Structure 1
Amino acid sequence: WIDTCATKHQRCPSGEPRTLPTRVIDVFQDPPKLIDSAGMHERYACLSHCWGGLTPCKTTTALLSAHMTSLNWSKLPQNFKDAIVLSRCLQIKYLWIDSLCIIQDSEEDWFREAQKMGSYYSCCLLTIAAAAAKDTASGFLHERKQMDTLGTIPYKDESMEAVGVVHLRRQVQGWKASIVDGILSTRAWTLQERLLAPRIIHFGEDQCFWDIQEAFYHPYDSDRNQTISDRREEVGTWPPNIMLEPIEGSPQWQWLELVKEYTRRQLTRKSDYFPALSGLTAKFSSLAKDEFLCGIWQGDLLRGLLWRSLLLPRPDEENTLEYPQMNTDLASPSWSWSSVDGPCYYDIDNLRLRDTNFDAEVVDCGMVEPTGENAITASSFSGSLVLRG
């Protein structure tokens, strides 16, 4: 699959060696170990996974030297072990896992590496997605459940003559249940990990899914050969590396679709709101040649202001809905959807935004954003917006 995709698919990136992340795991060593890549050009894989509330095995300042010597196999969570085993089987020597390859107690290292995460997932040969693993201990390389026939039903033609039998088997989780509605798709960080990846192998509850630009494949469902045009309905079904070119219209139009998907996802640290989106922001910026204003693009500002908050059930009262609260962990302008701690959306179909004629005009829009090396992790932004109309 990988070789065919990398060498024969016109829409998919090649499998040429790329610059390695700052640190990677050398899985060909036994036991594996963390190495400083020193700018080497090699093929590598990335793991996309859910921490699930557990504190994963991680690299700290105190453990860095030990991890550069060897990683204690007995202390690695099952997700990490499975990713290493799979990489070895696929003859991919290097593997990037966030909690092991970023020094977790160093703000300086996290600041620097957070800015590169988008490129890490964009440049890897393959992203391994632990789609059904609820936490790092769950693992994803399980024996496939038996597809034994539960029974048979005679099949007859119009003359009622038996011409065969229909075999009945249990229903397996398909693409939507495993991936679109799966546990990994509830996390904010994993959105850019999927959309920026050149190709992904998802490991679901019952089966694996090979997800690429050309199509996607899996053993048991009839929709396994869907193409890009079949997957335009919602962001959850967009193929990997879709940011290579717009699906339809301008990049800003794609962005409106993406906001709904991103804001419904969860973050452990609310201050990661923009860092978890930084790879996609950089890609959109290069496509649109536009300036990013706390979640809205300057060249599409009027349309970008037409966001709405989604009503949510109140936790303390049954059958009662309320709008989400302001995001107190991220000081963002109130005219941006990023100021809300909850799902937001653009009513695209009803408002027909592509055909909207705006009476208002932007008089002035100014943002004062943090600058320097740590700007990407900032949680406070100030800005002003003046409209006329």
Structure 2
Amino acid sequence: MCRRSRLLAPRGRAQRILDIGARDGDPVRLVEQEGDDEHSNYVCLSHRWGRAPVLQTLSSNVSQHHQEVPWVALPRTYRETILFVRRLGVRYLWIDSLCIVQDDAEDWRRESSKMGTIFSQALLVVSASSSVDVDDGLFAECGSSFATHYLEHSLADGNVETICFRRSLAHISGYMDQRLGMTPDLPTLTRGWIFQERFLSPRVLHFGPQELFWECLEDSLCQCTCQGPSDRTSAPPDNVALDHVSQPKTYFSRHYWTTLSDSELELCWHRLVEEYTKLDLTLDKDILPAISGLAKQFQSVVNSEYLAGLWKRTLVADLLWHVDGFNADRDDGVQRQRPARWRAPSWSWAAVKGPVKYPDAAAGIISLCEVLDANCSSAGTDATGELLDGYLTLRGRLAAASVQHEDGDDTAAKPWQLLRLEFLRSTVNTTWADYDIRSGQDIISSGSEVFCLALGESPVSGAMYLLVLTTASFVGTGDSTTLKRIGIVQLSRPPIQSGASAEAWLQRLGFPQAATTIKIV
């Protein structure tokens, strides 16, 4: 199926590709794609750059690389990948650091926007999943503890039978199923860019610490044989909410998305965001470019405008994200603040650092506000890539509130332990701050006035969601209705309000009856 659906898309083709030759010893050189299908069969390398020096194509050496990329200059992972790809009988290889001119901002922006096509059209993606950096290599050594042992056994007819045995290999899928790769055993899969490289490609061969693991749209296979060929006659799992863990390669594929209902697609995108934001990026600005390929594929299914990681057709539901705790094991302080450089409007999950989560009730939320306008300005031609600015114009019920900082240990504070709103004191609620509002350039002092916008209501639990907003003074427009997001509230419906309408609940909370138009940046 994945071979039959592989159609070449010249307009999205990489500008350059490596010609690695057919035999060992052949020169490696960078070639330009010229519009025909001469280079249609190629392999991509998915790898982690790490801290080791990475050989890159730059403006100063691109001409030299067209002549030849010196073999001795190639890091170990690149050399071993080239040797492996030649054994497959494939002549062309795409490696990001060599096929994109890294110090040319326009070339990088243009080529990175093609990631969806580059990886989805590859014959195979080779993933150096267990490599820490480019010098770690593709092939792993299991060590003497996995050596093969032989046992001879005499049969009744006098013949001797030899039995071979060794220690069992650790099953790589066990690592990958835990937070989709967030373990030290598979360091490559902890990287944000790798996420879309894995799920865009029809076929991935992972080189793990002890075994090879194969993923494609139809099956998963491994050397240890824990996971063999699946039963093609079995029905797909009914519970799509769990499938992103049990079968991520299928769940995050366009082929699967085309089979889903609107509500299932909502849930699928929320799961994608949750998994992606657990991963690491070297450059903060890459938060949207690193999933632009997946966003384009998803957009072809949902047919909606893409807005800084959210979708216009499900905008209210997509606004319900909250920061999913601060990871004490990785916390160096930066995760508690917004990125130093602006990269997304405050209403986007891309505006915060660290993992985010959506409530289970987000899909199918009943909107309590009206979306009047939404717009994002791209830094280049790619609407799913890096942004310059963005805003939302909403009309809904807005109430003023007073911020109170929660008391507690600064080092242990969680996002739901930072913020308390006085007018909600008598309600059962969870209020998540988007960042540590007590310090830094975006500090919100205790006692400051903020605003709460009634966003939506869950048809299942009856929970109500409010956006917490503050005046966006940095905009310089003088418009008091221009706000920025600093958090979100989940209100649990009290028993006395169990049968009441959302309107009655809002009145009880003190929301004015008149709707207000606001702009959120």
TM-score interval w.r.t. the shorter chain? 0.7 to 0.9
| Equivalence map 1:1-389=2 (5 Å) | 10=1, 13-14=4-5, 19=10, 21-28=14-21, 30-41=26-37, 42-143=40-141, 145=143, 147-148=146-147, 169-177=167-175, 180-181=181-182, 182-225=186-229, 229=236, 233-234=243-244, 237-239=247-249, 242-246=253-257, 248-250=260-262, 251-313=265-327, 324-348=336-360, 351=361, 353-354=362-363, 356-370=364-378, 372-373=380-381, 378-388=386-396
Q: Secondary structure at the match of 2:102?
A: coil
Aligned pair in 2 of structure 1 residues 79, 148: CA closer, same or farther (>3 Å)? Answer: closer
Separation of aligned partners in 1, 2:334 and 2:69 = 48
- Compared CA separation, residues 331 and 97, structure 1 to 2 (3 A): closer
Paired residues of 1:13 and 1:198 also in contact (CA < 8 A)? no
- Structure 1 residue 273: Cα displacement: 1.1
TM-score normalised according to structure 1 size: 0.83
Bigger mean CA deviation after superposition, 378-387 or 267-276:
378-387
| Residues 297 and 213 (structure 1), Cα distance of their counterparts in 2 relative to 1, 3 Å cut | same
Q: Distance in 1 between matches of 2:254 and 2:324?
A: 26
Distance verdict in 2 for CA 1:284–1:316, change over 3 Å: closer
**Unpaired runs of at least 5, structure 2:** 152-162, 398-521
**8 Å CA contact retained: 2:379, 2:387:** no
Structure 1 residue 313: deviation in Å?
4.3
Return the alpha-carbon distance in structure 2 between the equivalents of residues 188 and 313 of structure 1.
Answer: 17
1:120-162 superposed Cα distances (whole Å, 9 cap, x missing partner): 001111111100011000111245556447899xxxxxxxxxx
Amino acid corresponding to residue 273 of structure 2 in structure 1: V
The structure-2 alpha-carbon separation of the partners of 1:134 and 1:337, relative to structure 1 and needing over 3 Å to count, comes to same
Aligned pairs, how many? Answer: 362
Deviation of the 1:346 alpha carbon: 1.1
Measure, in 2, the Cα distance between the counterparts of 1:260 and 1:89: 38
Give the 3 Å change call, closer, same or farther, for CA 229–368 of structure 1 in structure 2.
Answer: same
Q: Which has the higher strand share?
A: 2
Q: What is the CA distance between 1:361 and its match in structure 2?
A: 3.0
CA-atom RMSD in angstroms:
3.2
Question: Equivalents in 2 of 1:33, 1:316: separation in Å?
Answer: 40
Please give the secondary structure, in 2, of the residue aligned with 1:66.
helix
Distance of 1:301 and 1:169 partners within structure 2: 52
Structure-2 change in CA distance of 1:135 and 1:286 (3 Å): same
Name the structure 1 match of 2:490: none
CA distance in 2, matches of 1:310, 1:338: 13
* Alpha-carbon offset, residue 374 of structure 1: 6.7
Residue 199 of structure 2 aligns with an amino acid whose one-letter code is L
Distance 1:87 1:236, change over 3 A: farther
Matched letter for residue 254 of structure 2: M
Contact in 1 for aligned 2:17/2:93 (Cα 8 Å): yes
Post-superposition CA distance 1:255-299 (Å, at most 9, x none)? 100011111111111011111111111111111000111111111
Contact 1:22 1:39 in 2 (8 A): no
The structure that has the greater radius of gyration is: 2
Q: 2: CA distance between counterparts of 1:273 and 1:317? A: 19
Structure number with higher relative contact order (C-alpha < 8 Å, ≥ 6 residues apart) = 1
Separation in 2, partners of 1:361, 1:33: 57
Unpaired stretches in structure 1, ≥5 consecutive residues: 1-9, 153-164
Corresponding residue SS for 2:378: coil
Partners of 2:130 and 2:277 in 1: how far apart? 21
Change (3 A) 1:377 1:278: closer
How many Å apart are 1:93 and its aligned residue? 1.0
Q: How far apart are residue 60 of structure 1 and its match?
A: 0.8
In 1, are the aligned partners of 2:343 and 2:386 still within 8 Å (CA)? no
User: TM-score when scaled to structure 2?
Assistant: 0.63
Q: Secondary structure at the match of 1:86?
A: helix
Structure 2 distance, partners of 1:59, 1:22, is 13
Secondary structure of the structure 2 residue equivalent to 1:312? coil
Say whether the 8 Å CA contact 1:199–1:213 is kept in structure 2. Answer: yes
Task: Spell out, residue by residue over 1:94-136, the C-alpha distance to the aligned partner (whole angstroms, 9 max, x if none).
Answer: 1000000011111121121111122100111111110001100
